[in-house]
Structure 1
Amino acid sequence: MNLQQWWRDLAMGVRFAFAGGREGWVRALLTAVGVGLGVALLLLTTALPNALTVRHERGDARADTNYGQKELKKADNTLLSANASTTFRDTEVRGRDLEPEGPKAPLPPGVDKFPAVGEMVVSPALKKLLESPDGKLLRERLPNPIAGTIAESGLIGSHELAFYRGAEGLGAHGLQNVGITRIDRYGTPYPSDSGSDPVLVLLVLVVFVVLLMPVAVFITAAVRFGGERRDRRLAALRLVGADGRSTRRIAAGEALAGAVLGLVLGTVFFLIGREVAGSIEVFGQSVFPSYLNPSPLLALLVAFAVPAAAVLVTLLALRGVVIEPLGVVRTAKPARRRLWWRLLLPLAGLGMLYPMVGQGRDGGDFNQYLVTGGVISLLVGVTALLPWIVEAVVARLGAGAVSWQLAVRRLQLSSGTAARMVNGIAVAVAGAIALQMLFAGTSSDYTKETTYDLSRAQMQVSVPKGKSLAATAKELAETKGVRHAYAFNEGYANDGPGENANWARVTVADCASLRQVAKLPSCRDGDVFASHVAPRRGDSASASENADDESTVAARPGRTLYFDTSVDAEKPTSVTWKVPQGVKQAESIDDPTGYRRGGILVTPSAFPATAAAGVRGEIYLRLDDSVPDAREYVRNTAARIDPHEEPMTWVSEKRNDEYSSIRTGLFVGAVCVLALIGASLLVSQLEQLRERKKLLSALIAFGTKRRTLSLSVLWQTAIPVGLGLLLASAVGLTLGVVLLKMTSTAVRVDWLSVLSMTGAGAAVVVVVTLLSLPPLLRLMRPDGLRTE
């Protein structure tokens, strides 16, 4: 067969798609929409690496830290930059106070000129927030006039909250002060690196495969829309003289036309989504439309792969169909599907993954090709097994209500079509269950519980040098939403110079606060205590014994202690304090931070004012959770006390940033895939209803109730969906166990996650079914039998 004949048959198929009347172009349009949705998500995926790269590059370009380089001297090209970042309702607000020291001071990226003292330039998102009623509390913290906005080149996302504020006198704070830096340029010579933790690389690989597999499944299902009517048209072609091979090539041409139109629509969908992406924020992440530029090579691969897959899938689908001049033999009872070859795919996947079982992160990087191939084989195995399971189950379903019998009979005649509709959901759910198990199993390696006692305090504020601890604590205690403020002056003292000196931790606080760190026999202002650290149950006592020994020596009455009050390391200074008589004994307990502090506990009147420079104030705040935005009121008060010192919000656990980024990426991708699942299922459902228009009209004409037909459509969806979710759960659990074994992690099934993933898949189907009811009711009319 020459290439010219191939081309002639394909071209005829294309003409049938667009010039075959309403029937042809409706089918082509449905195919194009289904393919286009998948192509749009594929293009989005190919654009994600570039988006992440641009975010990292822009973050590095605005870095304002010396990174250990030699401290700069004041010059006409230097700039003082002070950290003024804050947090508003769990969202970070990046802020800097700027003081140019000369006419050549470097401008931050995205800023045309320095804001005047007291003014600020802000990101568009922050400007919108400050001008809205929701930003009232933040406006109290940032009352400065807005002199301009930061351009896109100075931001990492369209919804980022950021500002630069003009300042003066920053040098008076001293460059030793945390958060104030002198720079002569922006940017870092050390670009951010994503690291090479094998387990994190494995997570990224599995996330991409799991998110892309449902897309591929939906594209292959979309090119088979309208298969039954297409085959009847091909039978008509056989009647006028076309042979079997020609009809298959013509069918491939129809699919090719729909796929090419799908590429066009997919590009349009992607461009629309690209613009929409700049106006939305998902799980705290946002991008600019310019970030989402697909890799040209990957975009070219999509452009060739999708039409090629459409032709290949159509030819494979027609292998089991005998198209004769007087009809399609598929309308007879088909041969039973064979199981043995369907089991080969998941077994092959397990075989690829098995060599890496027990490797963990100490065994080096996981083989990316084996991981990708193994996960793909297991998930493709779902699409191979599901048609066999649906056919085997529905063949055994028997009597029931009329709606049930209608649904079962339809499934028995076209179980393959029903399985194709559910394949995407099953693949997505199986992959999601495996990922949830992997994330749950490895989370302990990247998530650490903190020691903070959140029942006693929830925030911590550091008192700046030169500020009175008592006055600061009083101001914070009077803040709305604060129940109690525990104020401490903390520092260290030794009893002499040299390495042999004994040292002790010194804590200065009132009696109520001291009782948060030690068991006191009695307490009144003027008392001094030697606090002994009792070891916790199961802990080694050696460390606490050493601390107790040093504290006992340093706390002896009459002993002189030295406090370091140096502001400049080159000019050390210290003040002395003689331990008074009558030191009482106390036993240390867990303080609100979870630490047991030994040393000397001093009430305020017993501590000399001259030693105040040798201690640093820390205030622990207990909040009233019934007060909305209690943390924001605290942050506003803290900003008035010191705009360069952000309060610390205590949390019960801390998570690795890179691990959190991967998890966030999974959630963002899952939202996109679920949206695609819903949209593609709706298109598929509408196509199925269109195929059965005359059948539904005939049933209505014979008196069948609309309620009965609606229930039958629901059963036709629910039965394969239920079987698909059961299969997805089994495959997902298997894949999850293997991945956990590969990472040398104890196998633990998070049944709540399994149920939530299957529930999410079922919820999508329910929503799609509800959305398809209005067109179903319109189709159920007797006049649908009219022929013109």
Structure 2
Amino acid sequence: MNAGQWWRDLAMGVKFAFAGGREGWVRALLTAVGVGLGVALLLLTTALPNALAVRHERGDARADITYGEPTLKKADNTLLSANASTTFRDTDVRGREIEPEGPRAPLPPGVGKFPAAGEMVVSPALKSLLESDDGKLLRERLPDRIVGTIGESGLIGSHELAFYRGAEGLAAQGVDGARLTRIDRYGNPQPTDSNTDPVLVLLVLVVFVVLLMPVAVFITAAVRFGGERRDRRLAALRLVGADGRSTRRIAAGEALAGSVLGLVLGTLFFLIGREVAGSVEVFGQSVFPSYLNPSPLLALLVAVTVPAAAVLVTLLALRGVVIEPLGVVRTAKPERRRLWWRLLLPLAGLGMLYPMVGQGRDGGEFNQYLVTGGVILLLVGVTALLPWIVEAVVARLGAGALSWQLAVRRLQLSSGTAARMVNGIAVAVAGAIALQMLFAATDSEYTTSTGRDVSRAHMQVQLQDGDSLATAAKELAATKGVQRTYAFREGYAADGPGEEARWIRVTVADCASLREVAALPSCHEGDSFVARGGDVQGEAEAASVEPGRKFYFETSGAQEKTELVAWTVPKGLKQARSLPDPTGYKREGVLMTPSALGSTAAPGVRGEVYVQLDESLPDAREYVRNTAARINPFEEPMTWASFERNDRYESIRTGLFVGAACVLALIGASLLVSQLEQLRERKKLLSALVAFGTRRRTLTLSVLWQTAIPIALGLLLASAVGLTLGAVLLKMTDNAVRVDWPSVLSMTGVGAGVVLAVTLLSLPPLLRLMRPDGLRTE
């Protein structure tokens, strides 16, 4: 057999796909839609690394925090930039106050000209929010006149909330390189940290494999749409003289035509989705369409792999099919599927992962090739084992209601088709269960307790030096949604100059607030206390406190110079026992009421107010933020949480959720196309049964049983494989094997829910097909 004959047979198959009448192009279109959905998601996946890289580059290009860098002197090319970021309903709003100090001051990326004082330029998303009713509370915090919008080059996402507003006199606040910086250019001066956490790298690898495997499974299933009718057409070719090998190559040509058309549709779907991506936000993440540019090399790989896979899958599928001139025989008695080679796939996967068991974080990087290959083989094992399990189970099913018998008999005749429909969802569920186990086990390693008592306070408002603590506390207490406030002035005093000095903590508050941090014998205005039994950190609280002893507060004097202000420990100190304050810290040192501190030492302590909210009021935090912005516009109130999670770990979780949402959408769409194709092939059979008097309710139930039985078996297999893979990954990361049963049940429930939704959507077409006139033919 020469290569020319191969190409002629493939070309004939392509011709039959588009010129073979209604049956040919309908099958080609169904295949193309199924393949196209998978190709679109593959192209999206190949574009994600570029999108993440562009987001990172845009973030670095507009960086203006120079903490740790030498402070620049004022010049005609410098710019003062102050952090004015805020939060609105759990969404970060990036803000900067900018003041050019000369004609050559650098413009922020995406900004055409500097806004004057009282003006601001905003991102398109923030402009829409501020002009809507939903942004009314935020508008109170950002009252400046909008004079322009930030261009795409200055934003990391289409839905990012960001603004630059003009300011005057920023230098008087003190250039510290943190909140207020002086720059002569925008850009990140700090090199990117190249250290990687092996466990996080492992998570990324597994996430990508788990998300892409269902896509590959669906593409291979899509190229086999319309297999039964195609085989009958191939029998006609045998009748006119084609041999068995030629018919198989012609069938491969038909699949090739569908897959190539699928590439075209997939590219179209991707381009549409690319534009839609610019108008949506998923789990707080958004991108511009221009970010989603697939790597040319990866796109070429998809373009070559998909048609090649279509040809290969078709040839493999026809190995057990005997195509004769008078019909197609899938062996008179179907040959039982062999189990031994199907078990080799997951066992080989386990063998690839086993060398890394117990490696953990301290054993160096995980071998990326072994991890990827091992996870792929385990998940492919699901697709290999499921047809054998479905065949073995349905062969033993028998008596029951008429709908049950119709369903069982259909499954016994075409168990492979039923398994192919379920393979994708089973692979997705298996991977999701393994990932949930891994995330559940490693969550504590990347989540730390803040120690803050959120039952006593929900927010913390920092005051400026010189602000009246009593006035601020009163304003916050009167704010809508606030139940209670605790106001403190806090600072550290040293027993002398130099690095050898020892420090004590000084807390100033009224009696009610002091009782939140210590057990007091009694308290009246003018009293002072020394608190013992606290959490001492090194030498910070070790100095002995004696009445009459002098200590010194550091204060900011003229021209940002540090000055020492003497303070004498008052007489009549009472003993107090430290209690955990709202932050969870047990403080030692001196506690006193305001009048006991004295006016000279007052600049040495800084005020802050802890706020307890009425959480039944949805926008309570926004009212507090608005009040805090009036009191101290230079500090964003801190919102408390019981736990904090590692940013990189959180971004991986978010990426998983975004990817899972896309894969679930693909699963649903592909299953629906597959279900409609199956119903189309059975149109005459359903019509014949209705013509003979079979009730539609019976036929509908039989279709539901045909879906329910394979999906139940698939989910059981997926749970077993997912638990096995999850256990191996936990051992690799040196974690104890624990099964997160709620996550396992939720993942299987999601998979079952997708199938149920697809089945319900396929009922209207099913009812239309169940008509006697479906027997009409030409």
Does TM-score exceed 0.5, indicating one fold? Answer: yes
The one-letter amino acid of 1:18's match is: F
CA deviation string 1:337-364 (max 9, x = no partner)? 1101100000000000000000011110
Counterparts of 2:39 and 2:504, CA distance in 1: 67
- Partner of 1:769 in structure 2? 759
Counterparts of 1:508 and 1:534, CA distance in 2: 17
Kindly state the Cα deviation for residue 29 of structure 1 after the two structures are TM-superposed: 0.2
Counterparts of 1:548 and 1:94, CA distance in 2: 37
- Answer yes or no: is 1:14 the counterpart of 2:14: yes
Counterparts of 1:70 and 1:658, CA distance in 2: 29
- Partner of 2:666 in structure 1? 676
CA deviation string 1:538-568 (max 9, x = no partner)? xxxxx48977752xx22x2222222222347
- Partner of 2:698 in structure 1? 708
**Structure 2 unmatched ranges of 5 or more:** none
The one-letter amino acid of 2:601's match is: A
- Partner of 1:402 in structure 2? 402
Structure 1 residues 284 and 500: alpha-carbon distance in aligned structure 2, compared to 1, 3 A threshold: closer
| Paired residues for 1:477-556 under 5 Å | 477-498=477-498, 501-533=501-533, 543=536, 550=543, 553-554=544-545, 556=546
Kindly state the Cα deviation for residue 2 of structure 1 after the two structures are TM-superposed: 1.0
- Partner of 1:465 in structure 2? 465
Counterparts of 1:566 and 1:139, CA distance in 2: 34
| Paired residues for 1:706-785 under 5 Å | 706-785=696-775
Kindly state the Cα deviation for residue 232 of structure 1 after the two structures are TM-superposed: 0.7
Q: Which segment drifts farther, 617-626 or 400-409?
A: 617-626
Counterparts of 2:67 and 2:499, CA distance in 1: 31
CA deviation string 1:606-657 (max 9, x = no partner)? 1101111111111111111122210000111111122220000001111111
Counterparts of 2:251 and 2:30, CA distance in 1: 16
CA deviation string 1:368-394 (max 9, x = no partner)? 000000000000000000000000000
Equivalences, count: 778
CA contact (8 A) 2:505 2:541 kept: no
Structure 1 residues 217 and 499: alpha-carbon distance in aligned structure 2, compared to 1, 3 A threshold: closer
TM (norm. structure 1) is 0.97
Structure 1 residues 98 and 497: alpha-carbon distance in aligned structure 2, compared to 1, 3 A threshold: closer
- Partner of 1:29 in structure 2? 29
Kindly state the Cα deviation for residue 500 of structure 1 after the two structures are TM-superposed: 5.5
**Which among 551, 555, 575 is matched to residue 561 of structure 1?**
551
- Answer yes or no: is 1:208 the counterpart of 2:208: yes
Kindly state the Cα deviation for residue 450 of structure 1 after the two structures are TM-superposed: 1.3
- Partner of 2:417 in structure 1? 417
- Partner of 2:139 in structure 1? 139
Counterparts of 1:331 and 1:23, CA distance in 2: 25
Counterparts of 1:411 and 1:291, CA distance in 2: 46
- Partner of 1:667 in structure 2? 657
- Partner of 2:621 in structure 1? 631
- Partner of 1:393 in structure 2? 393
Counterparts of 1:779 and 1:545, CA distance in 2: 80
- Partner of 2:244 in structure 1? 244
CA deviation string 1:503-559 (max 9, x = no partner)? 311100000000000000000100000100157xxxxxxx48977752xx22x2222
Q: Which segment drifts farther, 275-284 or 612-621?
A: 612-621
**Which among 549, 554, 564 is matched to residue 574 of structure 1?**
564
CA contact (8 A) 2:359 2:734 kept: yes
The one-letter amino acid of 1:456's match is: R
**Which among 683, 693, 715 is matched to residue 693 of structure 1?**
683
Counterparts of 1:110 and 1:391, CA distance in 2: 61
| Paired residues for 1:83-122 under 5 Å | 83-122=83-122
Counterparts of 1:192 and 1:125, CA distance in 2: 29
Q: Secondary structure at the match of 2:461?
A: strand
Moved over 6 A (4+): 544-548
Counterparts of 2:562 and 2:6, CA distance in 1: 90
- Partner of 2:48 in structure 1? 48
Q: Secondary structure at the match of 1:633?
A: helix
Q: Secondary structure at the match of 1:573?
A: strand
CA deviation string 1:702-751 (max 9, x = no partner)? 11111110000000000000000000000000000000100001111111
- Partner of 1:538 in structure 2? none
CA deviation string 1:467-493 (max 9, x = no partner)? 111111111111111111111110111
CA contact (8 A) 2:174 2:560 kept: no
Q: Which segment drifts farther, 451-460 or 564-573?
A: 564-573
Structure 1 residues 549 and 208: alpha-carbon distance in aligned structure 2, compared to 1, 3 A threshold: closer
Counterparts of 2:473 and 2:560, CA distance in 1: 33
Counterparts of 1:65 and 1:510, CA distance in 2: 37
Counterparts of 1:193 and 1:55, CA distance in 2: 17
The one-letter amino acid of 1:297's match is: L
Structure 1 residues 131 and 331: alpha-carbon distance in aligned structure 2, compared to 1, 3 A threshold: farther
CA contact (8 A) 2:419 2:710 kept: yes
| Paired residues for 1:125-524 under 5 Å | 125-176=125-176, 178-193=178-193, 195-330=195-330, 332-498=332-498, 501-524=501-524
The one-letter amino acid of 2:646's match is: N
CA contact (8 A) 1:379 1:431 kept: yes
Counterparts of 1:65 and 1:319, CA distance in 2: 65
- Partner of 1:80 in structure 2? 80
The one-letter amino acid of 1:210's match is: V
Structure 1 residues 159 and 233: alpha-carbon distance in aligned structure 2, compared to 1, 3 A threshold: same
Counterparts of 1:14 and 1:619, CA distance in 2: 75
- Partner of 1:539 in structure 2? none
Kindly state the Cα deviation for residue 465 of structure 1 after the two structures are TM-superposed: 1.4
Counterparts of 1:693 and 1:571, CA distance in 2: 88
The one-letter amino acid of 1:407's match is: A
Counterparts of 2:95 and 2:502, CA distance in 1: 42
Q: Percent identity?
A: 82
Q: Secondary structure at the match of 1:97?
A: strand
Counterparts of 1:20 and 1:544, CA distance in 2: 83
The one-letter amino acid of 2:741's match is: W
Q: Secondary structure at the match of 1:558?
A: coil
Structure 1 residues 771 and 585: alpha-carbon distance in aligned structure 2, compared to 1, 3 A threshold: same
Q: Secondary structure at the match of 2:601?
A: helix
Q: Secondary structure at the match of 2:556?
A: coil
Q: Secondary structure at the match of 1:320?
A: coil
Kindly state the Cα deviation for residue 575 of structure 1 after the two structures are TM-superposed: 2.1
Report the RMSD for the aligned CA atoms in angstroms: 1.4
**Structure 1 unmatched ranges of 5 or more:** 536-542
Counterparts of 2:684 and 2:337, CA distance in 1: 29
CA deviation string 1:395-428 (max 9, x = no partner)? 0111111110000000000000000000000000
The one-letter amino acid of 1:58's match is: R
- Answer yes or no: is 1:612 the counterpart of 2:608: no
Counterparts of 2:351 and 2:154, CA distance in 1: 49
Counterparts of 1:632 and 1:145, CA distance in 2: 21
- Answer yes or no: is 1:602 the counterpart of 2:600: no
Counterparts of 2:679 and 2:384, CA distance in 1: 25
- Partner of 1:647 in structure 2? 637
Counterparts of 1:80 and 1:12, CA distance in 2: 71
CA contact (8 A) 1:56 1:192 kept: no
Counterparts of 2:297 and 2:567, CA distance in 1: 72
Counterparts of 1:774 and 1:287, CA distance in 2: 37
The one-letter amino acid of 1:37's match is: L
CA deviation string 1:414-469 (max 9, x = no partner)? 00000000000000000000011111111111111110000000100110112111
Structure 1 residues 217 and 283: alpha-carbon distance in aligned structure 2, compared to 1, 3 A threshold: same
Counterparts of 1:679 and 1:127, CA distance in 2: 36
The one-letter amino acid of 2:550's match is: T
TM (norm. structure 2) is 0.98
Counterparts of 2:303 and 2:499, CA distance in 1: 72
